[in-house]
Homo-oligomer: A and B are copies of this chain.
Amino acid sequence: MNFQSPISVSEIAERINATIVGNKNILATGLNEIHKVELGSIIFVGHEKYLKKALYSEATVIIVNTNQQPPEGKCFLIHESPFAAYNSLVAHFYPFKSAFGKEMISQETEIHESAQIHTSVVIGNGVTIGKNCIIYPNVVIYDNTHIGDNVIIQSGAIIGGQAFYYDKKGGDYIKWISCGWVQIEDDVEIGANTTIDKGVSGITRIGKGTKIDNLVHIGHGVEIGKNCLIAAQCGIGGKTIIEDDVICWGQVGITKDIRIGKGAVISAQSGVSKSLEGGKAYYGSPAREIRTVHKELAALRRVPDLIDKLESKAD
């Protein structure tokens, strides 16, 4: 998430008690995860193995725990615990404002007069809601969620909860503080008791015209394209990209950090562990092209007989 205006790297270094190595005149533009960095972004590298990726990224300010020289155009902030330092910057620049307080609907929202907000809906600070939306009872919308026009959200859906994202340190899990948000585009429908988490540092997007059924889980930083259908009880892991016109039938699970191509159709209960090309039909756990899986399942049904035959021959 970008700062309202750029901040000098020396101010950042001072705040976290880090040593600057490299260009001390750089301006930092925001805090970001590695998959979302822009020129000016601050990121951190918690493990040596991620350093290379950071160096080749657009990120300008990198918090690291080994003293070394950065390439041109970047600067390093040397700190013993890069993750803790980064998290403390998030906490400082995007302070936790008690999301809801004691009132059901924050004063700091922009809700179009044509939107129907039913009873017992809770809406946090900085939320915007467009024309003709219908928000059914007991929906919770966390801070900074943006909702377009003609969106329907069924009861009990939770929009903008915090990422399930931790750093493990000496056996304990330390929470990565979320400062992202959820964007729901026009004509989207969201089912009852579905949960959509905010991005850790950026957007979670549900594209125009996409329909999501009940009890679906959408992880932090997921981006879903236009006119997708996501049936009941599907789960999509953090930061995965779903392109336009994808269909996921019931109880499909999709892992984090992958991409599902435009127009892919994924059969019920499939488990997707790798990126999938668009325009094809998939099935199984792990999911592969549906024809391949059917062929194997048909073959599998013949295996018991096959074994019997081979064994009787051996006699």
Q: Is A312 an interface residue (CB 8 A)?
A: no
In the bound complex, what is the Cα–Cα distance between A109 and B278 (angstroms)?
Answer: 49
> Which single residue of chain B is at the shortest CB-CB distance from A232?
B217
In the bound complex, what is the Cα–Cα distance between A231 and B197 (angstroms)?
Answer: 13
Contact B285 A164 (CB under 8 A): no
Contact B118 A104 (CB under 8 A): no
Residues of A whose CB lies within 8 Å of any CB of B are: 98-104, 116, 118-120, 122, 136-138, 140, 142, 152, 154-156, 158, 161-162, 164, 166, 171-173, 175, 187, 189, 191-193, 195, 197, 209, 211, 213-215, 217, 219, 227, 229, 231-233, 235, 237, 245, 250-251, 253, 255, 268-269, 271, 273, 285-286, 295-304, 306-307, 310
Q: Chain B residues near A136 (CB, 8 Å)?
A: 99-100, 140, 161
> Which single residue of chain B is at the shortest CB-CB distance from A163?
B213
Contact B155 A158 (CB under 8 A): yes
Closest approach, in angstroms, between the C-beta of A254 and any C-beta of chain B?
9
Q: Chain B residues near A171 (CB, 8 Å)?
A: 209, 227, 245
Q: Chain B residues near A142 (CB, 8 Å)?
A: 155
Q: Chain B residues near A140 (CB, 8 Å)?
A: 136-138, 155-156, 192
Q: Chain B residues near A193 (CB, 8 Å)?
A: 156, 158, 193, 195, 215
- The count of identical subunits is 3
In the bound complex, what is the Cα–Cα distance between A172 and B101 (angstroms)?
Answer: 39
Closest approach, in angstroms, between the C-beta of A66 and any C-beta of chain B?
27
Q: Chain B residues near A251 (CB, 8 Å)?
A: 235, 251, 253, 271
> Which single residue of chain B is at the shortest CB-CB distance from A307?
B299
A-B pairs, 10 with minimum CB distance: A158-B192, A122-B137, A140-B155, A269-B271, A195-B214, A164-B213, A299-B303, A192-B195, A217-B232, A161-B192
Closest approach, in angstroms, between the C-beta of A312 and any C-beta of chain B?
13
